[in-house]
Amino acid sequence: MCREPVTAFVALGANLGDAQGAVLQAVAALAALPETRLTARSRLYRTAPHEAAGPDFINAVARIETGLSAPALLEALQALEHTAGRERPYANAPRTLDLDILLYGQARIDSPRLTVPHPRMAGRAFVLYPLADVAPERVLAADWLAVQDQAITPLEHPSP
């Protein structure tokens, strides 16, 4: 059963192995999900781990149009993480791939498995900068103040 497409934003990150390659492969995998079309990808960014230890992260945000329900999208993202070798030995452990639904249309979801909008996105530079690349209207001025002390380095030039 096909649903009316919804615009969703997915945060991508990795800090183990070929982190940049993992993020780029995950972007391609998002575009290949059923009933889903990639409409934009942010620049790649390098950030130190936030509230965690380990090597620096490579982060990005993808904007997609999807006919998948939010729970089905979550399942698909977790399958991509598993395929990339994601393990969860403890909270905020280094990871081969991390995929989070930031926004799913205008939906507000609060379930044991999924909270949308993502509850911690406004306090994380590694989410706000790439989100601003693909949807600047989704980042508020107050959000920038909350992350002004978090170091972040763009690895690419903005798209034209």
What's the predicted TM-score (pTM) here? 0.92
Whole-angstrom distance, CA of residue 143 vs CA of residue 16? 28
Domain assignment present for residue 156? The answer is no
Q: What is the CATH number for 111?
A: 3.30.70.560
Eight-class DSSP state of 123: G
Dump pLDDT digits (tens) for 22-60.
999 999 999 999 999 999 999 999 998 877 778 999 999
Tokens of 90: 């403890």
Q: Which amino acid is at 14?
A: A
* pLDDT band with cut points at 50, 70 and 90 for residue 94: confident
Give a yes or no: residue 84 inside a domain: yes
Domain count, the chain: 1
Let me know if residue 132 belongs to a domain: yes
Distance CA 148, CA 138 (A): 17
Residue 158 counted as domain residue: no
The parent domain of residue 74 ranges over 6-151
Asked whether residue 116 is domain-assigned, the answer is: yes
The band of 160, judged by pLDDT with boundaries at 50, 70 and 90, is: low
Is residue 60 a part of any domain in this protein?
Answer: yes
Give the residue numbers annotated as catalytic, written as ranges: 86, 95, 98, 100
Q: Band the pLDDT of 89: cuts 50, 70, 90.
A: low
Do the domain assignments include residue 159? no
